[in-house]
Amino acid sequence: MTMQVGEFLPSSDGASVRRAVRGSRTRMRLTLRGKIVTGLLAAAMCFAGVTIGATQAESSIPPQQVTSYTVRPGETMWSYASNITPSGGNVNETIDKLVKMNNLHSTSLQVGQRLIVPQE
C-alpha cells in the first residue's frame, strides 16, 4: 500500500486519521549559484530603487547673487521693498520675490528678522 502526504486513513475506531509519509519534510538549501543569483537580484533591486528615486532639484528662481538684511524697528515689507526696487519698477513684484526667496508665509516682518535679498 502506498501513501501520499496528508492522506486520510481509517483508524481502528472508524475515525479518519491524517498520517504523513516519513521523510516528506526536507529542508531546502540554496546552492552557491542560488546564493549568487539571489545576491545579484537584491543588488539590482536596490540600484533600481536608488536610480528611480533620485530627482534633480529645480527652482523657479534663477541663480543670482544675494546678501543678507536685518529688519529694523518700524520697517514693513512695503517700506523695505520700495527702498530696494529700482526706479520705475513694481514694488509688488519685489515683495513677491522677497516672499519666495525667504519662504515666508506672510508679508509681516519682525525686528531682527534676517532676509535674503538679491544684489542688484
- Name residue 108's amino acid: S
Give me the pLDDT at residue 56, please: 72
Q: Is the pLDDT of residue 117 over 70?
A: yes
- Identify the DSSP state of 61: S
pLDDT recorded at residue 27: 76
Question: Could you give the angle at which helices 91-101 and 77-84 cross, rounded to 10 degrees?
Answer: 110
Q: What is the pLDDT of residues 46-95, one digit of tens each?
A: 888 877 776 777 776 667 788 899 999 999 999 999 999 988 889 999 99
